[in-house]
Structure 1
Amino acid sequence: MVRSKKKNNSNKEVIVVVLIAITLLVIIGMSIKGNINNYLTGAILDVASPIQRGINKIFTITSENISGIINYRSNIKKVKLLSKENEELKKKIIDIDLKRDELNSLRDLKKSLNYISENYDKSYISASVVSKNDGNWYTTFTVSAGKKDGVVKNSIVISGEGLVGKIYEVSNNYSKAISLLNNKSAVSFEVLRKGEYTGVISQNLSIDSSENFEGYLKGYLFDIKYEVVPGDIIVTSGIGIYPKGIPLGEVEKVIEDKNNLLKYIKVKPYVNFKKIDKVLIIRPRIIE
């Protein structure tokens, strides 16, 4: 009995030791597992972090690009809208400038009517020059007014600077004119400062001189004794179809032909015969 009791006690001790050993093993195992898990987790995180950062960066860049594209398209629409508005404003400004220029041109043209005597009918027709002869100088040209507007043959063409020429052919809607530079044109003139000094402007004159008359008016005085000097202003004398007092130009040079007892003048015209846009047409003093 005693031996059997001792044996039972030994078995219990073995069991207790085994249980303690198992418990220790479990604890050690759990500890090792925790370390392994921590190690694995850290390793995974070390590997995953750059990937995650890359993915985040991709999403950030993509988001920024999408936002940029949306903003770009929006900005393009705004630029196109502003550009359209800018073009419309430019057109309005151009239209305003054209109207202002036209009004200023007409106002300047009307000033030339003040040169004509009060007892002359100053009714006028405004017109634009629509075509001209070849070359630099306006010797012949067509205006945008005709019979329906009241234009008749030999009507007088003037600008804001002075006399341009006359109408020689009229149709219903258009008229053809010759300027003072045309060889078929002739105008009786007088010197403004001394009305008795008179003569004729005509491009058909043959003057024995080395002077270059291109773009200038040629004329001669009725009396060689007339003391005309450079700077003298000449105007229409009122003889013929042209009313009195329309400016022609300034004397630039006086040329004496003592053999033929003639005195010629070279005149710089007031009208720019290289550029004529707007004109006034008035009835002639005498209708032939």
Structure 2
Amino acid sequence: MIELKSPAEIRRMHVAGRFVAEVLSEIGRLADVGVNLMDLEHHARGMIKRRGAESCYWDYAPSFGRGPFRNVICLSVNDAVLHGLPHDYTLRDGDVLTADLAVGIDGWVADSARTIIVGTPAEEDLRLIRATEEALEAAIEAARPGNRLGDISAAIGAVAREYGYPVNTEFGGHGIGRTMHEDLHVPNRGRAGHGLKLRPGLTLALEPWFARTTDRIVYDPDGWTIRSADGSRTAHSEHTVAVTEDGPLVLTRRETETPPARA
């Protein structure tokens, strides 16, 4: 069942969204050569505890994972892109790190992800990250009343084609609100003009993610971490967005974030 949120409820989701943005900004600041992934995990735990928020990941046990997940943040490195299980790994120069976080505050949830480069960036990694960021902004722009769900998916897929990246449709965006995953799957490729008509009050987590040279995925033995099947590097950008009468409202925008201009 799709639940449309009232303006007051969207404001409450925005509270959670601002906190998610704060944590991801802090993780991005701390991630550096020589830092262990578990140090980032424990820092996120501390921030969540001090805020009185609730992790959406802790004890999460969906059908696609080997639950329960016993961490508060997903940290995926290089060819890992989704559901990265924090573990004893020390970041190296040039690593590509994706941090994905969802928390609830007072019963309302927000979800966001960002990919950064640790230390010295490679141009091809910067290009891959930029593609996901541009695809996310295109998806956000399409999240307007009167458009269709397929318009969002098509916008993401169009950016992927421009950059020459394949698109996996097994995992994508989703509805969000009182829980992390609500009804509606938002594939990262689709047909414009098709699907559910967007209405004010609809809240979605939009999350384009690309691997450089494949649309196929494999799982680590941990049962959670998803990697590109050919070992190519990956990137992932995500925001929680509300469809409003005035257009899309991004609930997880980081204070220092500058949306990329289309190339």
Q: Same fold (TM over 0.5)?
A: no
Give the structure-1-normalised TM-score.
Answer: 0.27
Structure with the bigger RCO (C-alpha within 8 Å, sep 6+) is 2
Question: Larger C-alpha radius of gyration, 1 or 2?
Answer: 1
Give the structure-2-normalised TM-score.
Answer: 0.29
